[in-house]
């Protein structure tokens, strides 16, 4: 089977097997149970996306990758983030960031910690035009940050309001935390 594989690749595979390293489960193959999720979370999941997918493990070698979540994940994730994928929109709608968290850390977070984390990561994702879904390793949707990007843009429609023409209108966004996953209150 590995007859035509380069020698360096055989060595890398053998070294990985020796060290007990296994490939990361495919976040791309997520198929969460959508039952009981709010409509905005279902809509974010079902929004058409396209390739290429930006992966947390594969930064661009040519320049800035959009969305660029590496810095904020390192600075704010605190080991919570296992990996993330950014899926660009297939049309003019919002793209989607699928973020996988480590349950052993997520379960230690209080409600306020979870809210702050999802709000911060979602705000950065929305700056790039993406909604964000947060999954655990069992493919449960544990949180979401969704925006109505149709309401965003630049205010050119109401020149009667002094000082508001040309001002960016931010999308209306919301944080959703799955109530089926218990948390500490504080």
Question: Would residue 134 count as lying in a domain?
Answer: yes
The number of distinct structural domains making up the chain is 1
Residue 6 falls within a domain, yes or no? no
56 in a structural domain:
yes
* Predicted local distance difference test score (pLDDT) of residue 55: 72
Structural tokens at position 180: 């089926």
Q: Where are the alpha helices (DSSP H) in 111-160?
A: 111-127
For position 18, what pLDDT does the model report? 47
**Residue 77 domain flag:** yes
Any domain includes 18:
no
Domain annotation covers residue 26: no
Q: Is residue 19 part of a domain?
A: no
pLDDT per residue as tens digits for the range 7-38: 544 454 454 444 444 444 444 455 677 778 88
Which pLDDT belongs to residue 107?
Answer: 92
- Predicted confidence at residue 97, as pLDDT, reads 92
pLDDT tens, position by position, 143-178: 999 998 876 554 444 444 445 545 555 678 999 999
Tens-place pLDDT, residues 67-102: 778 778 778 777 899 988 888 888 877 889 999 999
Q: Is the pLDDT of residue 138 over 80?
A: yes
Question: Is residue 185 within 8 Å of residue 115, measured between CB atoms?
Answer: no
Give residue-wise pLDDT tens across range 126-137: 988 899 999 998
Between CA 97 and CA 81 the distance in angstroms is: 13
* CA–CA gap between residue 38 and residue 150 (Å, rounded): 19
pTM (two decimals): 0.70
Establish if 25 belongs to a structural domain.
Answer: no
Q: Is pLDDT of 3 > 80?
A: no
Phi/psi-derived region of residue 34, left when phi > 0, alpha when psi is between -120 and 50, beta in every other case: alpha
The arithmetic mean of pLDDT across residues 43-52, rounded, is: 79
68-71 long-range contacts, CB within 8 A, separation 24+: 68/128, 69/97, 69/121, 69/124, 69/125
Domain that holds residue 132: 44-177
């Amino acid at each position: 089977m590995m007859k035509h594989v380069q020698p360096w690749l055989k060595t890398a595979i053998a070294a990985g097997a020796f060290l007990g390293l296994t490939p990361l489960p495919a976040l791309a193959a997520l198929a969460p149970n959508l039952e009981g999720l709010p409509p905005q979370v279902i809509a974010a999941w079902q929004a058409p996306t396209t390739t290429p997918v930006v992966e947390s493990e594969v930064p661009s070698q040519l320049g800035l990758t959009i969305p660029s979540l590496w810095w904020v994940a390192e600075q704010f994730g605190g080991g919570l983030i296992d990996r993330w994928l950014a899926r660009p929109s297939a049309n003019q709608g919002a793209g989607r960031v699928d973020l996988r968290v480590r349950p052993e850390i997520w379960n230690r977070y209080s409600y306020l910690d979870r809210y702050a984390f999802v709000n911060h990561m979602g705000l950065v994702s929305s700056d790039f035009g993406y909604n964000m879904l947060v999954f655990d390793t069992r493919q449960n949707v544990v949180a979401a940050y969704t925006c109505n990007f149709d309401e965003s843009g630049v205010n050119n429609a109401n020149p009667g309001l002094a000082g508001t023409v040309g001002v960016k209108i931010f999308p209306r966004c919301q944080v959703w935390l799955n109530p089926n996953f218990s948390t500490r209150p504080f």
